Each structure stands twice: as structure tokens, then as C-alpha cells.
């Protein structure tokens, strides 16, 4: 009779196959870790968003804003990363630039070099900044001094107008919400109720309060989009005041909110399915649709 070859593995073959599978799994895991820690955090994405605003004067139709958020200049983000983001923003040639907080983390000595890098931002209608919770946890006064020394406008419960052919667009900024420094009534005290207003508020969930005021658009950061977003499940971890509106565009009554995924990271210093972001907004003088 004929004898068929055995399909059973010998002990030696089994161990060899097991070791091979383990090595392959380790290689894949190592590659995945390298991607999350070394590649995606530097994979800067430019998001282009058109925002119609009901109260925007026709003179500002087509006005562009670039938003840069959550630099987190510190242990995981160096000067080169901030400079690369600045160069990317300048290539977009925006009319104005909005910095929505968390510029520095942990070391107040880094405020000055960070501000120097940001001073290279080019915008016809200026650069406007607010502070975030990490700026406060580092040293809010030092961060503000470093920015103003570079002629960057820092808004701490204040608002300033941008003027074009006699029309005005107001840029308002609250101090950090987490630190209970935000005062929206004080921020809007000089803003006429019938003029278009953009609010810079580091924490996006503040939009629930902002929606009760005459504000057209809120720009926020803080959440980093979660840094890690799993298919189907989304972000496993989101920060306080960044859980309801973690990324992208939202509509809250008459208020539109956009949450930027940010440039930097906090521990653990990884990103997955959530690359760092620069946002370029084009404002349109027309009624917004639902988001």
C-alpha cells in the first residue's frame, strides 16, 4: 500500500514555526510603535474648511484664517517642529493667524524660543494668541511676556477688531477655562452685538456657554483629537473639557465650533489615526448650513 506524507509537525518544526511567528509579531509591534511615536506625530496635515457666517460683512468674504494649536514646546516637541509648522502656515498665505493655546509645556525657559519661532508667522492682519491650561501650569505670565515681546497679540479676556474697508471682524479670546480664568462677559464688553465675532477658547466644551452669546465661530484645541483614535471606537481617552467636541466642525445653534487636533503631544507621546493639524479657514458672508 502507498504511504501518504504526514501533515503533523515534529516538535522541532513546531518550535521553529512558533519562534518565527513570534519574531514576525514582534517586528509588526515594533513597526507599529515606531509609526505611532516617530512618524505620525510629525505627519503634519493641512485641513481646509469653508465657514459661512451670517453676520460677516461682505468686505470679509474670502478672508482666510490659519489656526495653529497645542504646540506643546517641551519634552516631546522641539524648535524644529514648531518652525516646520510656521513654514507650513506661511505657505498658505493667510490673512490672519490664530494660536489657540498650550504653546509651552513644563519648562518656562522654552517660552522665549517658542515665541521667537512663532514670530516668523506672516499674516496681513496679524497673529492672535490665547493661553491654554499647560501655559498656566508652566508659567502663564512668562509665556505671555515672551509672546508680546515678539509683537504677537495675546488675548486674555479681551477682543480686538480687524478692519477692512470700514467693516470690522472681531477676534475675541478668553483666558483658560480649566483654570477658571475665562470671563466671557468681560471679553465681549467692547464688541457690538451686530458685528461678526470669532472666539478663541482653548477648551472646546466651552462652546456650550459661548453658544448663549452673540458669537459666530469658536476656535479651540486642547483635545488633540484624542491623539489615538481606534477604528469604530474613536478616542479611548479625552481630556477634561475636551470630551464633547474633540475634533472637527460642530454646529451649536447659531454658533459654529471647530476643534483643531493640535501640533504637539503629551504623554504618552504617540499619535494613531489622528495626525497633527494646521487648519485654513475661508470665511464666507452667507448663511451656514447644518453640520
Q: What are 231-262's pLDDT values in tens digits? A: 999 999 999 999 999 999 999 999 999 999 99
**What mean pLDDT comes out for the span 169-190?**
98
CATH number of 45-284: 3.60.21.10
Q: Give the whole-angstrom CA distance, residue 286 versus residue 176.
A: 31
Q: Give the whole-angstrom CA distance, residue 37 versus residue 53.
A: 38
Q: Closest by alpha carbon to 275, among 224, 206, 223?
A: 224
pLDDT at 31 over 50: no
Domains of the chain by residue range? 11-42, 45-284
In this structure, the strands spanning 153-154 and 158-164 are unpaired
Q: What pLDDT is recorded for position 34?
A: 40
Q: What are 262-278's pLDDT values in tens digits? A: 999 999 999 999 999 99
Compute how many other C-beta atoms are within 10 angstroms of the C-beta atom of residue 239. 17
Amino acid at each position: 500500500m502507498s504511504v501518504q506524507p504526514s501533515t503533523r509537525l515534529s516538535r522541532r518544526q513546531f518550535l521553529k514555526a512558533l519562534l518565527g511567528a513570534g519574531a514576525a509579531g514582534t517586528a509588526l509591534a515594533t513597526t507599529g510603535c515606531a509609526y505611532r511615536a516617530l512618524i505620525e506625530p510629525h505627519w503634519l496635515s493641512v485641513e481646509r474648511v469653508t465657514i459661512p457666517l451670517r453676520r460677516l460683512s461682505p468686505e470679509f468674504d474670502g478672508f482666510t484664517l490659519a489656526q495653529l494649536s497645542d504646540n506643546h514646546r517641551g519634552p516631546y516637541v522641539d524648535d524644529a517642529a514648531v518652525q516646520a509648522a510656521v513654514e507650513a502656515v506661511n505657505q498658505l498665505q493667510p490673512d490672519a493667524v490664530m494660536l489657540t493655546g498650550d504653546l509651552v509645556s513644563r519648562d518656562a525657559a522654552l517660552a522665549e524660543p517658542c515665541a521667537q519661532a512663532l514670530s516668523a508667522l506672516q499674516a496681513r492682519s496679524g497673529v492672535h494668541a490665547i493661553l491654554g491650561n499647560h501655559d498656566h501650569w508652566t508659567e502663564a505670565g512668562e509665556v505671555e511676556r515672551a509672546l508680546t515681546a515678539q509683537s504677537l497679540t495675546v488675548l486674555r479676556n479681551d477682543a480686538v477688531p480687524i478692519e477692512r474697508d470700514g467693516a470690522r471682524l472681531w477676534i475675541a479670546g478668553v483666558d483658560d477655562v480649566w483654570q477658571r480664568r475665562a470671563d466671557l462677559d468681560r471679553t465681549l464688553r467692547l464688541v457690538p452685538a451686530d458685528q461678526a465675532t470669532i472666539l478663541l477658547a482653548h477648551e472646546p466644551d466651552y462652546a456650550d456657554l459661548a453658544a448663549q452669546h452673540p458669537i459666530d465661530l469658536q476656535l479651540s484645541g486642547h483635545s488633540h483629537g484624542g491623539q489615538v483614535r481606534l477604528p469604530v471606537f474613536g478616542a479611548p481617552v479625552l481630556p477634561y473639557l475636551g470630551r464633547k467636541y474633540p475634533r472637527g466642525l460642530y454646529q451649536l445653534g447659531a454658533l459654529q465650533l471647530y476643534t483643531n487636533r493640535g501640533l504637539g503631544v503629551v504623554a504618552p507621546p504617540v499619535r494613531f489615526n489622528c495626525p497633527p493639524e494646521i487648519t485654513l479657514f475661508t470665511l464666507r458672508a452667507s448663511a451656514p448650513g447644518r453640520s
